[in-house]
A = this chain, B = another copy of it.
């Protein structure tokens, strides 16, 4: 009983620290944030943070993993709801990526800006959650190629990376915009059109999307 209480208090305290870190990183940047500020915002003693996290880099990585898990769960659920058509699922993926900028602005800024400030994160951390995210996108491209809907002459890994880069850069712009966007579905549709259909004008009766 005492143990159960302690466990639930533990996970609640951990989440409070993560939420405070997200706010602090988004506001002041990773390098300008001190662990003691996070502790004070989370309402815990400085030393408490080190019970959960080794150091600030570890806190950053844990925060990322935790939030990515949330994003991936949500993506999985939304993709599952869109049955069948792989192109529709690709569009759903793109829309959800951009909706982050509206619904979770601090998280979008964290992922596109602050995360990259940790050299450790960019160069050493293997990043299994991000790998999962890319895998979802990759498997959509692969599936489309297997079905003969997407062209198979392009390396699907390269396509996945380029597509992720396009999404990430536009998300960065949306996250940093002075006026937070209220609706990003138009941006999402245009990027989906650009990537799926390409930039060329078609002079023929192309198959409908």
Which residues on the B side are within 8 Å of A114 (C-beta)?
119
Q: Does A34 contact B (CB under 8 A)?
A: no
| Given A119-B30, A119-B32, A191 contacting B162 (CB threshold 8 A) | yes
Shortest A196–chain B CB gap in Å is 5
Given A113-B123, A151-B199: A162 in contact with B29 (beta carbons within 8 A): no
Judged by a CB distance under 8 angstroms, whether A149 is at the interface is yes
Q: A204 to chain B: which residues have CB within 8 Å? A: 204-207
Question: How many A residues, CB 8 Å from partner?
Answer: 55
CB distance from A29 to the nearest CB of B (A): 3
Pairwise interchain contact B187-A144, C-beta atoms closer than 8 A: no
B119, B149, B167: the one within 8 Å of A201 (CB): B149
Question: At the interface, yes or no: A35 with Cβ under 8 Å from chain B?
Answer: no
A166 is contacted by which of B149, B162, B200, B201 (Cβ under 8 Å)?
A: B162
Nearest chain B CB to A189 CB, angstrom units: 10
Report whether A199 and B117 are in contact in the complex, using a CB–CB cutoff of 8 Å: no
Indicate if A84 sits at the interface (CB-CB under 8 A). no
Pick out which of these stretches binds chain B: A2-10, A37-45, A168-176: A168-176
Q: Is the beta-carbon distance between A148 and B201 smaller than 8 angstroms?
A: yes
Task: Name the residue in A29, A187, A195, A198 with the highest tally of chain B Cβ atoms < 10 Å from its Cβ.
Answer: A198
**Chain B minimum-CB-distance residue to A207:** B203
The smallest C-beta distance from A24 to any residue of chain B, in angstroms, reads 12
Closest 6 CB pairs of A and B: A198-B198, A165-B169, A29-B119, A162-B166, A116-B116, A165-B165
Supplied contacts A116-B116, A159-B199, A196-B198, 20 more A-B pairs, CB within 8 Å: A28-B119, A29-B119, A29-B123, A31-B119, A113-B123, A116-B122, A123-B176, A151-B197, A151-B202, A154-B194, A159-B194, A162-B166, A162-B194, A164-B169, A165-B167, A165-B170, A166-B169, A194-B195, A196-B199, A197-B198
